[in-house]
Amino acid sequence: MTNVSIIVLDFGSQYTQLIARRLREDQIYCEILPYHTKVEDIKAKNPKGVILSGGPSSVYNKDAYEVDQGVYEMGIPVLGICYGMQRIAVDFGGSVIRSDHHEYGKAELNINNYETNASKLFADCDNERIVWMSHSDRVDEIPAGFEVIATSANSPFAAIANEEKNVYAMQFHPEVQHSEEGYLMLRNFAKKICGVDEKWKMEHFLKEQIRIIKEKVGDGKVLCGLSGGVDSSVVAAMLYEAIGDQLIPVFVDNGLLRKGEREQVEQIFKVNLKAPLVVADAADLFLGRLAGISDPEQKRKIIGHTFIEVFEQEAKKHDGIKFLAQGTLYPDVIESISVNGPSEVIKSHHNVGGLPDWMDFELIEPLRELFKDEVRKIGLELGLPESMINRHPFPGPGLAIRIMGDVNQADLDLLREADVIMLDELKASGYYTRTWQAFTVLLNVKSVGVMGDNRTYDNTVCVRVVEAVDGMTATFAHLPHDLLERISRRIINEVDGINRVVYDISSKPPATIEWE
C-alpha cells in the first residue's frame, strides 16, 4: 500500500482538492476522505497528520458537520482550515459566531512574534503577505491552551495553535494561489510539524498500481474502454504493463467523435501499445438514443448507460472477462458525486458512479485519485509519446455536450468542420501546447448575416480555449486578436451554415469548462 502521509477530511469546500494538489506538488502523498470517516479507518492508513478542510456549513447549526473526536486523540498533528478552524475552536471549548464584518478575498496576514519566535507553521514565510479569506463566521473566543499566531485587519484570530497538543488552525485558505506562500505553510505543517520526510513520486504510484492490478486480476481478463484521450490511454498502458494479453482494449465509435478521431486512435494504439484493438461501431445506437434529447444531464446519462451496454456486448464475445477498466480521474469524481464530503454535485460524468446492478464486472480505476497533470507524468513513465500525453482533454460524451440542444448528424458534421479549423490554427500558432483545452460549441442560435451581398440566417459557434493545471479551476486564454480573427474568418468562409463566431471569456468558476 502507498504510505499516506497526510489525510484531508473534506467538509465540502470547493478548495479541498487544492490542499491535496499543493501537498502532492511537494511530493507529499495525501488522500481526501469524508469528514465523517471513523477514526479507526483513519488510523488504518497510518497518517502522520490530519487536515480539516473548509466547508459551506456553520459549526453552530444544529446539523453542523462534525469530526470523530478520536481524531484529536490519535497523537498526530491536526490542522484546521476555515470551517476546520471553527470546528477545532468549538471542539476544544471555544466559540464561533456570525461575523459582523465578512471577509471575502485578499487580506494581509500579520505573523505574531515574526522576528523572534514565530510558529513553525510560518517558518521561512515573509510577514505581511497576502492570504485569501472566505468566511462569514469567525472564532469569537479561542479555547484554553491555544494562542494567537497570526492576525489580519478583520481577523484577530487569523491563525491559532496549541503547540502542546500539536493542533493548528487558520481562518484563511493557504491552498489557493491567491494566498502568497500558502504552499509553504502547508509544507511546514507536513514536514516541520508532522515530520513527513519521505518523497512520493509518480514512479512509486505506478509500481504500486501495477502490483495491485496484477493481484486483483489474477488470471482473469480486463475489458478496457478507450477514447483515444490521455486518461484511457494511460490506463490501457498500465494494464498492458501489468497483465499483457489479458487486456482486451475496446474503442467505441459512438458517432460523437471529432473529425478523424477514430483513425487517429487506431494508429496511435497500433504503434504505441502494440495490443490488438477492438473497435465497436455503435454510432447508430448512440445517435438513435439521443434523438430529440436536449437536456444536458439526460444526454450524459444516456451516453453513460449506452457505453456500459456496448462494453457488455463486447465482453460476451470473450471468455474470462471479469473486470472493466476506466480512465476515471479525481476531478470527474468531485464534479459527479459528493463522494468525500458534502460538496455540491456539478454534473454527472459517464464514467463515474459505479456499475449497474445487472453487470457482473468489477471496476478497475487506477487513476481515480489523480489529477490530469499527474496522469500525464504516469504516461511519460510508461513510455507513451508526448504527442499522446499532451493531447487536450476530450470528454467521454464527446460532441454531444458541445451541441446545445438535441444531437443530430447534420449538426455533428457542422461542428466537426468548425472544430478542426480552430485546432489547426491553434496548433499552427503554438498556442495548442500553451493551453489546457480548446474546442468549439454549436450554440443552435441563428443570426442574420451578409455573405456575397446576400442575407444569411445561419448558425453561431463559440470558440472556447482555457488555461488550467488540473481542470478544477480554469481561466479563459488571452489569445491574440489576429489569431481569433483567423479562426473566425476561416470557419465562416469554409463551413457552410455558420455565419458568426464568438469567443467565451468566462472562467471556471463560475462557469464550467464544457458548456454542458
Catalytic center residues: 82, 173, 175
Bridging pattern class, strands 159-162 and 147-151: antiparallel
At 145, which helix (H) or strand (E)? none
- Assess contact for 351 and 226: CB atoms under 8 A: no
The rounded distance, in Å, linking the Cα atoms of 6 and 20 is 9
State the alpha helices, DSSP H only, in 92-218.
182-187, 202-217
Would you list which residues are annotated within the binding site?
A: 227-233
Question: What φ, ψ does residue 397 adopt, rounded to 5°?
Answer: -70, -5
The rounded distance, in Å, linking the Cα atoms of 304 and 290 is 12
- Grid coordinates 445517435 are at which residue? 287
At 375, which helix (H) or strand (E)? helix 372-381
Three-class SS of residue 23?
helix
Would you list which residues are annotated within the binding site for ATP?
A: 227-233
Q: What value, to the nearest 5°, has the Cα angle with vertex 48 and ends 47 and 49?
A: 95
Three-class SS of residue 245?
helix
- Grid coordinates 498533528 are at which residue? 77
The rounded distance, in Å, linking the Cα atoms of 31 and 200 is 12
The rounded distance, in Å, linking the Cα atoms of 189 and 7 is 12
Cis peptide before 156 (omega within 30 of 0): no
